[in-house]
Amino acid sequence: MVDSNSTVATIATVATKAKQVKIVRVTAKDAKNRFGELLEAAQRHPIIITKNNRPVAEIIRYPSKTRFEEIEDQIWGERAMKAAKEGYIGVEASRKLLERYRNA
C-alpha cells in the first residue's frame, strides 16, 4: 500500500478552499510494479505518475455519480425549490390526496 512511510512515493499535501488533499507522486517504473496498490490508494487521494521527474499521468478516483445522475439531482433540486416557493398544501389536503391515490 502507498502511505507516508513509503520510500517509493513522494507525498505532498495541497490546501484547497474546502479541505486538504494528499497527492502522491510515483515514478512510472514503480507505478508499473505496484499498479494494484496505486488503484487502491487512488480511492483516497490522487496519484501523479512521473517519468524523468516530470508528471506524465494522474490516477484519480472514478466519480461515484454519473453525469446523468448529477443532472437528475439538479432537476429534482430545482423542482423542490420551486415547490417550496409555491408553498405546501397542508396536512389535511395531503391526507385526502394520498387517500385518493390509494383508492385509484
Beta strands in the chain (DSSP E): 10-15, 20-27, 47-51, 54-59
How is residue 32 written as a grid cell?
A: 508499473
Query: Cell match 496505486: residue?
Result: 38
Shared domain check, 54 and 16: yes
Shared domain check, 49 and 14: yes
Q: Is residue 4, in this structure, part of any structural domain at all?
A: no
The per-residue pLDDT for 5 is 44
**Is the whole-model pTM more than 0.85?**
no
Q: Is residue 2, in this structure, part of any structural domain at all?
A: no
Q: Is residue 5, in this structure, part of any structural domain at all?
A: no
Tell me the pairing of strands 54-59 and 20-27.
unpaired
Instruction: Identify the residue with better confidence: 21 or 66.
Output: 66
Domain extent at residue 71: 67-102
Res. 71: pLDDT tops 80: yes
The per-residue pLDDT for 18 is 57
CATH label of the domain that carries residue 27: 3.40.1620.10
Res. 1: pLDDT tops 50: no
How far apart are alpha carbons 99 and 104 in whole angstroms? 9
